[in-house]
Amino acid sequence: MLDPQFCTRPTLFWTILIGKISDILFGINLGWVCGLIFLVLSAICHFRFGNLSRYLILITVISLSPLILSLVITSAPFIDFADAQLLKFPNRGAQKSDAIVILGRGGDLRRSRVEVAANLWRSQQAPIIFTSGRGDAIEMEDMLKKQAIPVVAIEGEGCSRTTAENAEFTRLMLQPQGIRKILLVTDPPHMLRSLLTFQKYGFQVTAVLSSLNANLNSRDRNLLILREYFALITYKILGRLA
């Protein structure tokens, strides 16, 4: 059982900061940003050079650059390319392992993960299923029981709030049991970062993909993919990836 102190420990400063930056970047109103840039540059040109009309075209282009960049990175070809890059990890198919680990990712994605894990267990790919994630672990455990997975084959921790904590707390509970080789279950955009993080914490990882919610609209899918790149960059900077 995971020490309860891990459920009550304060959130790391970096986690809070990265979350705030992510919310700002992906929730910003580009119209306001472009307008603000235009006003600032216009004021600089007027008071510094005394000739606004001479620089008007350049100011307009610079002011619209955030909007142009946004249109490019949210275009279908760019998103498809970015999505494909997230799937570039070793994928050997399900192999017999010590445990199946399901990562929490919110209510809409629980069912597909549980079904994938239950099928892996039934095909005897691993003797136990381990659920990980605050607000997800207990619910996924209940769903596994409803799929006739025996209680003795289910373990989990409901304290982790980030992918790094998923890996850290899973290690604390499973590695003392001699469990190193795992089948990791999560959605395609999340898998690369999850796989590299769990490898960093000493696991031999085989990726097993679960599907995204079929009702996920294109805007939310695009946002999910772009946020994942931001998360990968921050995890790399913080040294959380293998």
Enclosing domain of residue 188:
92-211
182 inside domain? yes
In this prediction, residue 219 carries a pLDDT of: 81
Pair 137, 169 in one domain: yes
C-alpha separations of 78 from 69, 181, 214, 225 in Å: 11, 35, 21, 11
Q: How far apart are CA 106 and CA 216, in angstroms?
A: 13
Give the pair of three-digit tokens for residue 83: 């999505």
226 inside domain? no
Last residue of a domain, one of 24, 42, 73: 73
Pair 53, 107 in one domain: no
**Residues counted in the chain:** 242
Pair 57, 98 in one domain: no
Q: Token pair 């570039």 is at which residue?
A: 88
Pair 99, 145 in one domain: yes
Pair 114, 203 in one domain: yes
167 inside domain? yes
165 inside domain? yes
Pair 58, 113 in one domain: no
- The residue that leads in pLDDT, 64 or 195, is 195
Pair 104, 181 in one domain: yes
Last residue of a domain, one of 40, 73, 106: 73
Over residues 34-50, mean pLDDT: 84
38 inside domain? yes
Give the pair of three-digit tokens for residue 119: 């099928």
83 inside domain? no
Banded model confidence at residue 25, pLDDT cuts 50, 70, 90:
low
130 inside domain? yes
Give the pair of three-digit tokens for residue 171: 């290690």
Count the Cβ atoms, other than its own, within 10 Å of residue 82. Answer: 16
DSSP 182: E
Q: How far apart are CA 26 and CA 224, in angstroms?
A: 10
Pair 66, 105 in one domain: no
Q: Which of 22-31, 158-167, 188-197 has the lowest mean pLDDT?
A: 22-31
Mean pLDDT is highest, among 10-19, 93-102, 183-192, for 183-192
Give me the number of domains the chain comprises: 2
Pair 116, 150 in one domain: yes
23 inside domain? yes
Over residues 154-160, mean pLDDT: 94
| pTM, to two decimals | 0.84
Pair 101, 207 in one domain: yes
Pair 69, 100 in one domain: no
6-22 pLDDT tens trace: 777 777 666 777 677 77
In this prediction, residue 14 carries a pLDDT of: 64
Using an 8 Å Cβ cutoff, are 62 and 167 in contact?
Answer: no
Selection from 126, 130, 127, 167 nearest residue 6 by Cα: 167
Q: What is the mean pLDDT of the chain?
A: 88
Q: For the chain, what percent of residues have pLDDT higher than 70?
A: 94
Pair 56, 96 in one domain: no
In this prediction, residue 1 carries a pLDDT of: 62
Q: At 184, which CATH number?
A: 3.40.50.620
